[in-house]
């Protein structure tokens, strides 16, 4: 039997700050750029009751971890559960099982922040954010660790939600966060634009993007949905988290291909290649860049490994046991 650490959502909640997630996820993407294996999500759809079962995985050999996410969403209870198994990348033994809900906005926000750090202009200081939920909070908090922000404008369709977001983030960050009445008001003249929605149609007009803007789009991983319009894709240096994912579920890019505006050669490089220095990122101050973040095992394993180490140091979590196949597959 092998002892494995179980970390509940409450145990994970206070283990790390956004800057810690960003450092771990940056290292993970660098390893991906140097050849670490990672696969796009596998998504199974159930019609009745309506729901989705998803998984994705990565091996970060340098960090010593491998694993991924398995999560369900929808179904009868109309909720979601996130399970994160973490394995030793040398022995293959299970190290931990994490209730991944608490880390979700932070590890996803960290991926967005790595995209900002490597693709946005170094002098970027204004943010327009569309969306006001947990993922929007995670994106903004992580972005604030890689750029010195002076102004944030937030839009979401429900006034109370965007105003609550602005009040909370102003208190948390060292800059003024203002709720605005239209997505265009958030986007115009913003150095960085973040979309964190579940929208089916584009949430802003790509013509509004200022020269030199960077866009982080993280709310879309469905071939029939898109947060970004074709104009944004066509104008941009387009960088996804995983190249293999793009024509599978990057709806904004797929729509642009279907409309004849771009083809697959428009994919500039994976984020990992830019982080590892095997591909260039931004080359000019006026260039518009897009990081399309649909979710991968890279940020998941990187974040889970970091949390596992911190939990071990602090003596947190409980122990469960797994039987290796050599013991369990006895045929008796």
| Distance in angstroms (rounded) separating the CA atoms of residues 60 and 26 | 12
Quick one: what percent of the chain has pLDDT higher than 70?
99
How do residues 73-108 score in pLDDT, each as one tens digit? 999 999 999 999 999 999 999 999 999 999 999 999
Mean pLDDT of 290-306: 97
Identify the band that residue 326 occupies on the pLDDT scale cut at 50, 70 and 90.
confident
Q: How far apart are CA 149 and CA 105, in angstroms?
A: 20
Give the chain's largest Cα–Cα span.
69
Cα of 317 vs its chain's centroid, Å: 25
**Structure-token pair, residue 128:** 């327009």
- Which structure tokens are listed for 160? 């109370």
**pLDDT digits 0-9 by tens, 136-187:** 999 999 999 999 999 999 999 999 999 999 999 999 998 999 999 999 999 9
CA distance 319 to 96: 9
What percentage of the chain has pLDDT greater than the value 90?
Answer: 92
At residue 63, φ and ψ (nearest 5 deg) are -75, -25
The pLDDT, as a whole number, for residue 57 is 97
CA 72 – CA 79 distance, rounded (Å):
8
Confidence of residue 222 (pLDDT cuts 50, 70, 90): confident
Judge contact between 295 and 109, C-beta under 8 A.
no
Q: Which domains, and CATH codes, for the chain?
A: 2-104+297-328 (3.30.1780.10), 113-292 (3.40.50.720)
pLDDT at 1 over 90: no
- On the question of pLDDT at 331 being above 60, the answer is no
Residue 332: which pLDDT band, with cuts at 50, 70 and 90?
A: low
State residue 108's pLDDT score: 96
Query: What confidence category does residue 6 fall into, taking pLDDT thresholds of 50, 70 and 90?
Result: very high
pLDDT of residue 149: 98
Residue 189 has pLDDT above 60, yes or no: yes
- 102-140: per-residue pLDDT in tens? 999 999 999 999 999 999 999 999 999 999 999 999 999
Query: In the prediction, which pLDDT does 327 show?
Result: 85
What is the secondary structure of 36-74 as a DSSP string? --EEEEEEEEETTTTEEEEEEEEEETTTTEEEEEEEEEE
The long-range contacts involving 311-316, CB below 8 angstroms and separated by at least 24 positions, are 311/5, 311/7, 311/11, 311/12, 311/15, 311/96, 312/5, 314/15, 316/7, 316/11, 316/15
Over residues 297-313, the mean pLDDT reads 98
37 or 1, higher pLDDT: 37
Q: How many CB atoms lie within 10 A of CB 321?
A: 9
How much is the pLDDT for 306? 98
pLDDT 10s digits, 47-72: 999 999 999 999 999 999 999 999 99
């Amino acid at each position: 039997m092998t002892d494995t650490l179980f970390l509940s959502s409450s145990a994970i909640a206070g283990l790390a700050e956004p800057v810690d997630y960003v450092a771990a996820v940056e290292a993970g993407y660098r390893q991906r750029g140097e050849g670490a294996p990672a696969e796009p999500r596998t998504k199974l759809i159930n019609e009745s009751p309506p729901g989705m079962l998803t998984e994705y995985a990565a091996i970060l050999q340098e960090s010593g971890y491998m694993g991924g996410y398995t999560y369900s969403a929808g179904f009868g209870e109309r909720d979601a559960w996130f399970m994160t198994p973490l394995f030793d990348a040398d022995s293959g033994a299970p190290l931990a099982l994490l209730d991944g809900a608490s880390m979700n906005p932070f590890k996803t926000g960290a991926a967005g922040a790595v995209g900002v750090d490597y693709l946005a202009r170094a002098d970027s200081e204004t943010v327009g954010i569309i969306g006001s939920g947990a993922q929007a909070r995670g994106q903004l908090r992580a972005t604030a660790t890689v750029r010195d922000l002076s102004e944030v404008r937030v839009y979401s369709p429900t006034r109370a939600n965007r105003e609550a977001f602005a009040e909370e983030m102003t208190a948390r960050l060292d800059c003024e966060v203002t709720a605005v009445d239209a997505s265009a008001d958030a986007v115009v003249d913003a150095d960085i634009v973040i979309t964190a929605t579940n929208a089916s149609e584009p949430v802003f007009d790509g013509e509004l993007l200022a020269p030199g803007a960077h866009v982080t789009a993280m709310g879309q991983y469905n071939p029939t949905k898109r947060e970004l319009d074709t104009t944004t894709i066509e104008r941009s240096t387009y960088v996804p988290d995983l190249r293999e994912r793009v024509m599978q579920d990057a709806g904004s890019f797929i729509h642009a291909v279907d409309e004849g505006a771009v083809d697959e050669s428009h994919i500039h490089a994976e984020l990992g290649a830019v982080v590892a220095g095997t591909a260039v990122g931004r080359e000019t101050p006026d260039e518009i860049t897009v990081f399309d973040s649909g979710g991968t095992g890279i940020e998941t394993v990187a974040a889970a490994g970091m949390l596992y180490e911190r939990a071990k140091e602090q003596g947190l979590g409980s122990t469960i046991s797994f039987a290796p196949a050599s013991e369990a597959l006895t045929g008796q």
